[in-house]
Amino acid sequence: MHQFDLKNKTAIITGGAQGFGLEIAKKFLQSGSKVFIWDIDEKELSKATKQINNPNLNYNVVDVSNYEQIEKTVSDIISNTKIDILINNAGITGPTATLWNYDIKDWNSIININLHGTFYCSKLIVPHMIKNNYGRIVNIASVAGKDGNANASAYSSAKAGVIGLTKSLGKELAKYNIAVNAITPAGAKTKILDQMSKEHVQWMLSKVPRGRFLELNELTSMVCWLSSEENSFSTAAVFDISGGRSTY
């Protein structure tokens, strides 16, 4: 695997206690970055931090749907260090149901975490990046945001919103040395699949021409490049990693 240079960089990874977020954190640490993982689950955060046992890994208990909580955490971090990289990864899929049967509470929760959380974190960290004239933001969207998944209207809508946010913010920041991009992974074998019915998981797999789920190291390599200084031109873009499911 290619080794990326993230030395002297500090990254925040939301939803970092497990799944995509934790694997990205491991890759960043291997590349020399200082990492803050954010998650709502303190038990999983503590467990992950102890297992990795790296002095460059820190954690914060953060609910990304809580603006004031994010604001305080960002303030605490920038009082001691700069923030170079933001990975907006925190997300939930929610239950599978037709739109007309979708529970309002579930809908709001999915939109708040997946879309509003990405907005809140970006809104609070971007001014710091502008001040330093440097930043890399990677938003973890989904093929569901491009194609739309039946019985997952809330998740599909939220991820489509993340894609739109990425395009707008990337253009707004294009005059700075700040890159904002999104990736649209297909399903991977993480705990997020546990939130879905077996039938829905099999339906997702059937849509992937490569005939398998995404490997975590494939995703982390793409995120690492997008987060590095090597990515000096691409911004406001959507990078597909769906095994051929979405070819645009």
- Catalytic residue numbers? 155
Tokens, residue 209: 């021409």
| Pure H helices in the chain | 19-30, 42-52, 67-78, 104-111, 117-132, 144-147, 153-172, 198-206, 216-226
Closest C-alpha among 123, 118, 131, 120 to residue 82 = 131
Question: Could you say which DSSP state residue 176 is in?
Answer: T
Full strand arrangement of the beta sheet holding 10-14:
57-61, 34-39, 10-14, 85-88, 135-140, 178-185, 237-241
For residues 112 and 210, what is the distance between their CA atoms, to the nearest angstrom?
32
Residue type, 18: Q
For residues 83 and 31, what is the distance between their CA atoms, to the nearest angstrom?
16
Closest C-alpha among 138, 153, 10 to residue 84 = 10
